[in-house]
Amino acid sequence: MNARWPVMLLVGVLFSPAAARQGLAAADPSKAQAVVTQVCAACHAADGNSTQAANPVLAGQHADYTFKQLMNFKPQGGKPAERPSAVMAGMVANLSADDMRNLAAYFEIQKRKPRAARDPELVKLGRAIYRGGVLTKNVAACAACHGPNGAGMPAQFPHLAGQFADYTAAQLKAFRSGERANDLNRTMRAVAEKLSDKEIAAVAEYISGLR
């Protein structure tokens, strides 16, 4: 594997911590409760542990990452949303930046419930890709950025462990097709473009069982 890949990934996905964390230190999770109840809970559950595979688990996600995604769903300065989603666009339409900061802080402190992988064969392949990448395709190990246990790093890489396999696979395919493009420097798109459907399914399955 190209030894420069982990460094390229770190530089490529990194977005400004200052921009991502603007006001997060002063965010108040208690102020998010009403919004959680009225807007978020129907799809993500009140504690962020969604029970529907199409809707991501938000519990335990880094606040700065959640804040960035919420901001990306909302058009800014007359420009289209960086992460297009008709559903999420409606959800964030009436939320202020402070609302989003409070929501991000709220979900970060919720405890993520563990999930078990279901397919041993996919897990075997997924483990190999997650830990070692795909040498023949010059794909770096997922662990290089998301950590060996899928915990990720605040302001840079999301917490993946225990996420629904269906959701993770859908996002990788969205990066692969270009439908999702809110990764700086095309880092995730560059990785996903090289993965087959089976490799994506395998990585997603392995991640779902990480703790």
Q: What is the per-residue pLDDT across 184-210, written as a single tens digit (0 to 9) for each?
A: 789 899 999 999 999 999 999 999 999
Say which residue, 9 or 112, is predicted with more confidence. Answer: 112
The mean of the pLDDT values for the chain is 91
Give the phi and the psi of residue 79 in degrees, each rounded to 5.
-95, 150
Give the H or E element holding residue 34: helix 33-35
Are the folds of 5-13+114-208 and 17-108 the same?
Answer: yes
CA distances from 86 to 90, 93, 135 (A): 6, 11, 37
Q: What is the per-residue pLDDT across 99-148, written as a single tens digit (0 to 9) for each?
A: 999 999 999 999 999 999 999 999 999 999 999 999 999 999 999 999 99
- The residue-averaged pLDDT of 175-192 equals 94
Q: What's the gap between Cα 89 and its chain centre?
A: 17
CATH class name, domain 17-108: mainly alpha
Q: How far apart are the C-alpha atoms of 189 and 187, rounded to whole Å?
A: 5
Q: Where are the domains of the chain?
A: 5-13+114-208, 17-108
- The residue-averaged pLDDT of 150-171 equals 94
Helix 197-208 and helix 120-132, axial crossing angle in degrees, nearest 10: 90
pTM of the predicted protein model:
0.89
- The residue-averaged pLDDT of 95-100 equals 97
User: How does residue 22 score in pLDDT terms, banded at 50, 70 and 90?
Assistant: low
Name the architecture of domain 5-13+114-208: Orthogonal Bundle (1.10)
Give the H or E element holding residue 200: helix 197-208
